[in-house]
């Protein structure tokens, strides 16, 4: 068995203002016995579950299984054509969201640039130029997404 003990000793302080005061320090040695916990010393939990709780748990499990079965009956298997159509619709809705976000960003950047045009200080001019670059990049992305949407519409 391992052991641990505390011995408190005093050491001089490094503080220049209080050179005469002693600071306590802690030294740890292995003199006190420590009992280690091992799997052989642990005892298993003894839990008693009432009949009511067992019945309630069984009914909940049965209810969830019934819900899963009902959902499977309500949602019949889709044909590959229907699945392809659903995935196309999802892609189109994602594309529409991206286009909308880019459109809003273009508007916001345009407004910020217009507000900065009235100011003529050096910081405003630098910021306006940076925003104009970001606006051009955003417009390019928006045009690419619109072209992509147009291409998918032509294929449909």
Average pLDDT, the chain: 75
Minimum mean pLDDT among 16-20, 29-33, 83-87, 120-124: which range? 16-20
More confident residue, 132 or 66: 132
Other residues' Cβ atoms within 10 Å of the Cβ of residue 106: 16
Tokens standing for 129?
A: 């130029």
pTM (whole model) above 0.75? no
pLDDT exceeds 80 at position 66: no
> What phi and psi, each to the nearest 5 degrees, are found at residue 44?
-70, 150
* Domain ranges, ordered by start, for the chain: 2-34, 80-155
| Cα–Cα distance measured from residue 146 to residue 130, given in angstroms and rounded to the nearest whole number | 24
pLDDT at 27: 60
DSSP string, 13-68: ---STTSS-EEEEEEEEEEEEEPPP-TTT---------HHHHHHHHHHHHHHHHHH
- Over residues 49-57, mean pLDDT: 80
Model confidence pLDDT, tens digit, residues 67-90: 776 665 555 566 777 676 666 667
């Amino acid at each position: 068995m391992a052991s641990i003990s505390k011995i408190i000793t005093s050491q001089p302080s490094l503080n220049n203002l209080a050179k005469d005061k002693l600071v306590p320090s802690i030294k740890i040695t292995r003199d006190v016995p420590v009992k280690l916990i091992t799997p052989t010393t642990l005892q298993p939990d003894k839990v008693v579950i009432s009949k009511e709780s067992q019945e309630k748990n069984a009914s909940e499990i049965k209810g969830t299984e019934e819900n899963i079965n009902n959902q499977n009956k309500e949602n019949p298997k889709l044909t590959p054509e229907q699945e392809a159509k659903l995935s196309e619709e999802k892609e189109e809705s994602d594309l529409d969201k991206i286009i909308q976000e880019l459109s809003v960003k273009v508007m916001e950047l345009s407004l910020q640039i217009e507000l900065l045009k009235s100011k003529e200080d050096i910081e405003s001019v630098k910021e306006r130029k940076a925003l104009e670059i970001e606006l051009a990049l955003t417009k390019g992305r928006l045009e690419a997404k619109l072209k992509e949407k147009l291409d998918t519409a032509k294929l449909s």
